[in-house]
């Protein structure tokens, strides 16, 4: 995943389904150290993405990434065995 800028905060919620982000967040990360680790994990995952069958596999979590430049990224996270 391409980062648009430095991350200012990340909010996580249980996912309802594809197409939108559940805004009932269970956690928001805005600590610089934790954000750095989260950013490293996203960069490390680049190239390891796995295809998901959206008809049978529903997302477990929604992630809203807020960047320092004001832009946002919404992601669906599907947990798997790997």
Q: Tens digit of pLDDT for each residue in 31-82?
A: 888 888 877 877 776 666 677 777 788 899 999 999 999 999 898 888 865 5
Report whether 60 contacts 75 (CB < 8 A). no
Residue 43's Cβ-side half-sphere holds a number of Cα atoms within 13 Å equal to 11
pTM for the full predicted model: 0.78
Q: What is the pLDDT of residues 22-41, one digit of tens each?
A: 999 999 988 888 888 877 87
């Amino acid at each position: 995943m391409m980062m648009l800028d430095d991350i200012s905060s990340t909010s996580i919620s249980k996912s309802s389904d594809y197409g939108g982000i559940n805004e009932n967040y269970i956690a928001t990360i805005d600590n610089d150290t934790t954000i750095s680790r989260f950013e490293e994990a996203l960069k490390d995952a680049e190239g390891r993405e796995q295809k998901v069958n959206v008809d049978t596999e529903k997302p477990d979590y929604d992630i809203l990434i807020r960047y320092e430049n004001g832009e946002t990224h919404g992601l669906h996270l599907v947990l798997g065995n790997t």
